[in-house]
């Protein structure tokens, strides 16, 4: 009896010793992926939105979906007076909802030829940074619209802008650049890859470069941006809209390799990611995993107070949930952004955590005093 007992005990011991590491390893590896059910639990940041209204429609839905926001001043070729109005909305909203919003400022180039332009622009940006702006945005009017007194288009690598970029570099403030347009912009409508681009350029022929062959080409826009980054290697730069390289993860990878201080937001270009996924899902998935610390989730949604509240909030929820499904699951999906089916990328949760919040904290220093933790990570 005694012999039998000790034999059993010994066998148990050996089994435990043998299997313990396996049990331990499987526990460590267990929750590698999120699911649709985790959507509300996971801390998320949308780093490219535009809210300029007194109503709280946007933030109410963001809270329900556990999103926080980077509210960017819209810089549509505006006068400084209009920029100030836009800016005041951001400052006011940040004051009312400091836990939900950070904001980015911008500057006007309307007075470019005025000898005081550089110093007054520096003063204006200094005020914004002191009041809490985490970034400064430049827009496609540089390179596509604005001309100096000699009639020459002002490009982003113009030496006059370097004084401003030097200031941002020394204060470690991110420059957000929407420079150029999606490559589709230089194609006829029928050849564009996504339905949202087809609609936008149909409605905005002034920006449809296929119709303006006299203006710089797509390659010239990207080259000017690259030259600016070569001149400013320490500038922290976030390329809006996948850095206008939305059509090719290979081309984007080349820039991310070349410019270590460059990251990109995904705003309004997820359709091009769907498109590339339809063509070569393995390649796109490998790209997102390899560059997981350089990509920031964003949508370019906004609220100017005009749309019906229910419609606005369902647009927001549907967009955020669609993108979560794409990045988190391996579901077969369709979208009105393009024709045909594509499959979700099923990215590991550590990649999702980076894209959805950790990179915003790192690159844009958003919510530095935040005590909220990602509940799902803690579980
Ligand atoms: Zn935008």
Distance from the first to the final alpha carbon of the chain: 45
Distance, CA 13 to ligand 1 centroid (Å)?
Answer: 62
**Ligand 1 centroid vs 14 CA: distance in angstroms?**
62
- Asked if pLDDT for residue 74 goes beyond 90, the answer is no
Cα 319 to middle of ligand 1, angstroms? 15
Whole-number Å distance, alpha carbon 48 to ligand 1 midpoint, is 6
pLDDT in the model for residue 369: 80
Distance CA 129, CA 131 (A): 5
Whole-number Å distance, alpha carbon 49 to ligand 1 midpoint, is 6
**378 CA to centre of ligand 1 in angstroms:** 33
In sequence order, which residues have a C-beta less than 8 Å from that of residue 28 and are 6 or more positions away? none
- Percentages helix, strand, coil for the chain (3-state, rounded to 5) are 50, 10, 35
Mean pLDDT of 179-204: 94
CA of 67 to the centre of ligand 1 (A): 17
pLDDT tens figures, 309-343: 999 999 999 999 999 999 999 999 999 999 999 99
pLDDT tops 80 at residue 4? no
| CA–centroid distance, residue 20 to ligand 1 (Å) | 52
**Residue with the larger pLDDT of the pair 330 and 28:** 330
CATH topology of domain 43-368: TIM Barrel (3.20.20)
pTM, rounded to two decimals? 0.90
Q: How far apart are the CA of 24 and the centre of ligand 1, in A?
A: 46
C-alpha gyration radius of the chain: 24
Average model confidence (pLDDT) across the chain: 92
Q: Tens digits of per-residue pLDDT, 278-295?
A: 999 999 999 999 999 999
Q: Residues 192-232: pLDDT tens digits?
A: 999 999 999 999 999 899 999 999 999 999 999 999 999 99
Least confidently predicted of 113-122, 172-181, 206-215, 369-378: 369-378
C-alpha 4 – ligand 1 centre gap (Å): 75
Encode pLDDT of 82-128 as tens digits: 999 999 999 999 999 999 999 999 999 999 999 999 999 999 999 99
**Please, are residues 329 and 79 in contact by the beta-carbon 8 Å criterion?**
no
Q: What is the pLDDT of residue 379?
A: 32
How far away, in angstroms, is 316 Cα from ligand 1 center?
15
pLDDT of residue 23: 60
Query: Ligand 1 mean position to 73 CA, how many Å?
Result: 9
Spatial separation of the C-alpha atoms in residues 240 and 263, rounded to whole Å: 9
Q: Please answer whether residues 242 and 265 qualify as being in contact, where contact means their C-beta atoms are separated by less than 8 angstroms.
A: yes
The answer, yes or no, to whether residue 8 has pLDDT greater than 80, is no
Residue 289: what pLDDT? Answer: 97
Written as six digits, the tokens of 51 are 């809210």
Q: Please report the sign of the dihedral spanned by the C-alpha atoms of residue 150, residue 156, residue 157, residue 159.
A: positive
Model pLDDT for residues 124-170, shown as the tens digit of each residue: 999 999 999 999 999 999 999 999 999 999 999 999 999 999 999 99
> What pLDDT score was predicted for residue 353?
97
CA of 71 relative to ligand 1 center, distance in Å:
9
Q: Tell me how far the alpha carbon of residue 74 lies from the centroid of ligand 1, in angstroms.
A: 7
pLDDT of residue 76: 73
The alpha carbon of 350 and the centre of ligand 1 are apart by a number of angstroms equal to 27
Residue range 44-69: average pLDDT?
98
Calculate how far, in angstroms, residue 372's C-alpha sits from the geometric centre of ligand 1: 27
User: How far, in Å, CA of 97 to CA of 56, rounded?
Assistant: 10
pLDDT at 376: 42
Percent of the chain with pLDDT over 70: 90
Report the separation in Å between the CA atom of 2 and the middle of ligand 1, taken as the mean of its atom positions: 78
Buried b (16+ CB within 10 A) or exposed e, 34-71: beeebbeebbbbbbbbbbbeeebbbbebbeebbbbbbb
State the distance from the centre of ligand 1 to the C-alpha of 178, rounded, in angstroms.
8
Distance, CA 242 to ligand 1 centroid (Å)?
A: 12
* Alpha carbon of 60 to ligand 1 centroid (Å): 20
295: helix, strand or coil: strand
Please determine, for residue 360, whether its predicted confidence score (pLDDT) is greater than 90. yes
Instruction: List C-alpha distances in Å: 81 to 88, 164, 275, 355.
Output: 11, 19, 40, 35
Report the separation in Å between the CA atom of 273 and the middle of ligand 1, taken as the mean of its atom positions.
18
User: Rounded to whole angstroms, how far apart are CA atoms 58 and 307?
Assistant: 11
Given a cut of 90, whether residue 31 has pLDDT beyond it is no
Residue 141 CA to ligand 1 centre (angstroms): 13
């Amino acid at each position: 009896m005694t012999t039998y007992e000790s034999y059993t005990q010994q066998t148990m011991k050996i089994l435990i010793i043998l299997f313990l590491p396996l049990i331990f390893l499987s526990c460590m590896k267990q929750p590698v992926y999120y699911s649709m059910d985790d959507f509300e639990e996971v801390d998320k940041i949308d780093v490219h939105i535009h809210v300029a209204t007194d109503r709280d429609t946007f933030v109410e839905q963001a809270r329900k979906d556990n999103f926080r926001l980077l509210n960017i001043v819209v810089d549509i070729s505006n006068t400084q007076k209009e920029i100030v109005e836009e800016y005041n909305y951001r400052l006011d909203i940040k004051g009312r909802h400091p836990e939900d919003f950070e904001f980015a400022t911008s500057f006007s180039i309307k007075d470019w030829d005025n000898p005081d332009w550089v110093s007054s622009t520096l003063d204006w940006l200094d005020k914004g940074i002191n009041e809490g702006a985490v970034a400064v945005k430049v827009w496609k009017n540089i390179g596509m619209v604005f001309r100096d007194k000699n009639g020459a288009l002002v490009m982003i690598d113009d030496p006059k802008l370097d004084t401003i970029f030097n200031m941002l570099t020394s204060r470690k403030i991110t420059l957000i650049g929407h420079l150029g347009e999606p490559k589709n912009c230089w194609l006829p409508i029928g050849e564009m890859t996504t339905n949202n681009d087809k609609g936008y350029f149909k409605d905005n022929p002034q920006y449809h470069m296929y119709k303006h062959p006299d203006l710089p080409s797509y390659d010239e826009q990207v080259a000017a941006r690259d030259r600016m980054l070569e001149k400013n290697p320490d500038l922290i730069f976030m390329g809006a809209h996948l850095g206008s390289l939305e059509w090719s993860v290979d081309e984007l990878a080349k820039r991310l390799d070349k410019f270590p201080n460059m990251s990109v937001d995904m705003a309004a270009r997820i359709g091009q990611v769907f498109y590339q996924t339809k063509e070569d899902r393995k390649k796109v998935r490998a790209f997102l995993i390899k560059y997981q610390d350089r990509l920031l989730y964003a949508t370019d949604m906004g609220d100017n107070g005009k749309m019906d509240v229910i419609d606005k909030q369902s647009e927001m929820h549907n967009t955020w949930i669609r993108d979560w499904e794409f990045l988190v699951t391996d579901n077969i999906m369709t979208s009105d952004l393009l024709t045909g089916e594509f499959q979700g990328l099923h990215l590991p949760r550590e990649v999702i955590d980076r894209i959805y919040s950790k990179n915003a904290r790192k690159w844009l220093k958003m919510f530095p005093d935040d005590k909220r933790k990602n509940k799902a990570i803690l579980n």
